[in-house]
Amino acid sequence: MRIDILTGLPDLVRGPLEQSILRRAARNELVDIRVHDLRTYAEGKHRQIDDYPYGGGAGMVLKPEPIFRCLDALQDEPPAIDEMIYLSPDGEQFDQSMANALSLKQRLVLLAGHYKGVDQRVRDERVTREVSIGDYVLSGGELPALVVVDAVVRLIPGVLGDATSALSDAFQDGLLDAPHYTRPATYRGLTVPDVLRSGDHGRIAAWREARRLEKTRQRRPDLLHPEPVRHDMQAGSPDD
Ligand code: ADE
């Protein structure tokens, strides 16, 4: 997979890509992540990438030209771009199923808007998907872009050491995760549940499943009762 990230703050994005799982994925050539500094595509002595909004108002808007130029250059490079994603608090809510779908693509482009946003013409002409990571406003799209990259890259086969570990994540089957423990067995008088040290894999699996259900019921009951209710109503018959 190839991922291109367009930003006015390349250093903010590059740091996290150089750590842990993302770095290993890139070094193992499982993903090719390129960070593009919009300033490189800006013109003039000051290489300005933002300007005041027409009509007035607070904040600056990212200018269209550097973004269009950068995208034109990227489009000439294979593979073909599958999704051109703009990170914005008014986008579609990012979740595990979107991460799963994006992890199957060959090429993603992520545009991190800073300041007040980006010229609407970029969104109208080039963006195929607008994505929000939650109902709160950050200073820019850089951190959201990294959230999307991390959630997607860890799903690429071979990125996580244990082939099954992404599948057992919370949310991957609609339940929250069970508690985890490691050594020592007793710390400051606090003990690890006996069942986890029993070596009985059947009992351990049952215990984990019960904890997952219990935690999901307490914290996210909405995850336990999602679509079927609507489906029954659409079917129109209470006996269905
Ligand atoms: N840019 C600023 N806030 C954001 C959010 N919550 N999601 C995506 N992009 C953003």
Burial of 53 (0-12, 13-18, 19+ CB in 10 A): middle
pLDDT > 70? residue 228: no
For the CA of 139, the nearest atom of ligand 1? 2
pLDDT > 90? residue 51: yes
Residue range 206-224: mean pLDDT, rounded: 97
Cα dihedral across residues 168, 172, 173, 175: positive or negative? positive
DSSP code for 164: T
CA of 134 to the centre of ligand 1 (A): 7
Is the entire prediction scored with pTM above 0.75?
A: yes
pLDDT in tens, 123-134: 999 999 999 999
Q: What is the pLDDT of residue 227?
A: 66
Tokens of 7: 């930003």
- Comparing 170 with 32, the larger pLDDT belongs to 32
Residue range 102-106: mean pLDDT, rounded: 98
pLDDT in tens, 145-158: 999 999 999 999 99
CA of 93 to the centre of ligand 1 (A): 10
- Selection from 163, 28, 148, 24 nearest residue 83 by Cα: 148
Q: Is 13 in the pocket of ligand 1 (CB under 6 A)?
A: no
pLDDT > 50? residue 238: no
User: How high does pLDDT run on average in the chain?
Assistant: 93
CA of 226 to the centre of ligand 1 (A): 26
Confidence of residue 173 (pLDDT cuts 50, 70, 90): confident
Q: Is 148 in the pocket of ligand 1 (CB under 6 A)?
A: no
- Selection from 96, 40, 29, 98 nearest residue 71 by Cα: 40
